Amino acid sequence: MFLTREDEALSNGEHGEGAEIAMSVLVKLGEMYGADKMLNVENVHIDGAAYGWINDSGLELVERLCNSGACFRVPATLNPSSIDFDMWKELKVPSWVAEKQFRLANALKKMGATPTWTCAPYQYGADIRFGQNVAWGESNAVGFANTVVGARTERLGDLADVCSAIVGKYPNFGLYRDENRLGQILFEPSKKDLETFDQTDYGILGFFIGSIAEAKVPVVSGIPKNVTTDQLKSYCAAAAVGGSVGLSHLCGVTPEAKTVADAFHGSRPEERITIETDQLEQTRQKLSTLKRDDPDVICLGCPHCSVQELTRLARLLKGKKVKKDVRLLILTSRAAKTLAAEMGAVETIESSGGKVIADTCWNFVPFEGKTLMTDSAKMAWVSMSRFAEVGIGNMDRCVEAAVRAMC
Ligand code: F3S
């Protein structure tokens, strides 16, 4: 791999021990994946921000980097942590976990991270543009950066993101390279379906496309102009877990793919798939093992809810009470929670019996309950091993399930 004079200076310790460690990790990674050179990146989103993901060895590395005096060279945002920093006691998180998460948070902030603690940094906190090279972890965020913003990022692993923020570089492989961004499979959903899709339907579409495309680049025709950011968020999250899609060309949305021809750069698709309504219905059934809409836990916010989702939820819950034997949990960022609280939405949700949790991911919330309902295709799929039964339904249906007996 070609290294510039600056890359070599970072590698051989001229910029301190932290930069030397970070560069050695990135150079090894580049060699493993056949990178030809290092790229300068302008922004990093750090997935390895939760103690629960990186554990003691990760914490030790981050603290060592911090104690060496390393600072982030580029703006860096943080994915959810293992705790809600205000409510961890109430949520019954063990104090040893909280103590280690606080240590990790302190080290990351000292190096210069913006404490966004969200998996939707593109909605609150991150500032990226079309054509920029960035270095993002968290699969839904990677999908969103590539697909919706048109920035370029590979799918970063935990701690490679921290290393990247320290040196402002990442090896040039995968989705940074033009040839790996070409569309490969054309998906054609029906116009009639797309016109009626809600946010959950976009998740189901993403899951279906991901399960066929796997790691290839899907091109999707017909996405309406009025698709919302929250719908695109659901699509990207589910495409990444249905397969491992890091870039979709949603024609008319993705900046580098205004048309189907743009997405394929004039070449022919490897495959062309017309998506039938019943195929999406089968996908919905695959994501739903819950026999009736009477779950123990209802969880929204995977990826984190936006202000718009929180205010909509508040409108749906106004004047209603969540059933005593149901836990309604909503995951969001601290930024969105603060804004929604100013609008009165958090109070409305919580006075109905819901709980709005910030800074963290449902993976770290000690749920009590055997059955789950969610509006998120990603969460439905990923949580199947944790619950006896999992159901998927849009926000309206989740609210109905939460309050039905008390209306
Ligand atoms: Fe976010 Fe956790 Fe879902 S990080 S995307 S809430 S699995």
* Ligand 1 center–CA 302 separation, angstroms: 5
pLDDT at 368: 83
Rounded to whole angstroms, the Cα distance separating 395 from 317 reads 11
Q: Stretch 231-254: mean pLDDT, rounded?
A: 98
- Nearest atom in ligand 1 to the alpha carbon of residue 378 is 3
pLDDT band, residue 405 (cuts 50/70/90):
low
Could you tell which of 302, 356, 372 is best to mutate to test the pocket of ligand 1, judged by most ligand atoms within 8 Å of the CB?
302
What does pLDDT average to over the chain?
97
Which pairing describes strands 76-78 and 135-137: parallel, antiparallel, or unpaired? unpaired
- Nearest atom in ligand 1 to the alpha carbon of residue 79 is 4
* Ligand 1 center–CA 303 separation, angstroms: 5
pLDDT at 76: 98
Could you tell which of 46, 304, 381, 387 is best to mutate to test the pocket of ligand 1, judged by most ligand atoms within 8 Å of the CB?
304
Atom 2, ligand 1: residue with shortest CA distance: 361
Per-residue pLDDT tens digits for 314-340: 999 999 999 999 999 999 999 999 999
Backbone angles phi, psi at 182, to 5 degrees: -70, 140
* Ligand 1 center–CA 402 separation, angstroms: 21
> Measured from the CB, is residue 380 less than 6 Å from ligand 1?
no
> Measured from the CB, is residue 237 less than 6 Å from ligand 1?
yes
* Ligand 1 center–CA 120 separation, angstroms: 9
Residue 355 forms beta bridges with which residues? 329
Per-residue pLDDT tens digits for 89-130: 999 999 999 999 999 999 999 999 999 999 999 999 999 999
Could you tell which of 378, 381, 382, 383 is best to mutate to test the pocket of ligand 1, judged by most ligand atoms within 8 Å of the CB?
378
pLDDT band, residue 406 (cuts 50/70/90):
very low
- Nearest atom in ligand 1 to the alpha carbon of residue 382 is 7
* Ligand 1 center–CA 7 separation, angstroms: 34
Q: What is the pTM assigned to this prediction?
A: 0.97
pLDDT band, residue 213 (cuts 50/70/90):
very high
Q: Stretch 357-371: mean pLDDT, rounded?
A: 94
- Nearest atom in ligand 1 to the alpha carbon of residue 140 is 5
* Ligand 1 center–CA 124 separation, angstroms: 15
- Nearest atom in ligand 1 to the alpha carbon of residue 119 is 1
Could you tell which of 45, 53, 119, 233 is best to mutate to test the pocket of ligand 1, judged by most ligand atoms within 8 Å of the CB?
119
pLDDT at 266: 86
> Measured from the CB, is residue 50 less than 6 Å from ligand 1?
no
pLDDT at 407: 39
Per-residue pLDDT tens digits for 63-79: 999 999 999 999 999 99
> Measured from the CB, is residue 121 less than 6 Å from ligand 1?
no
* Ligand 1 center–CA 39 separation, angstroms: 28
Q: Stretch 239-243: mean pLDDT, rounded?
A: 98
pLDDT at 373: 98
* Ligand 1 center–CA 270 separation, angstroms: 32
Atom 3, ligand 1: residue with shortest CA distance: 302
Could you tell which of 379, 384, 392 is best to mutate to test the pocket of ligand 1, judged by most ligand atoms within 8 Å of the CB?
379
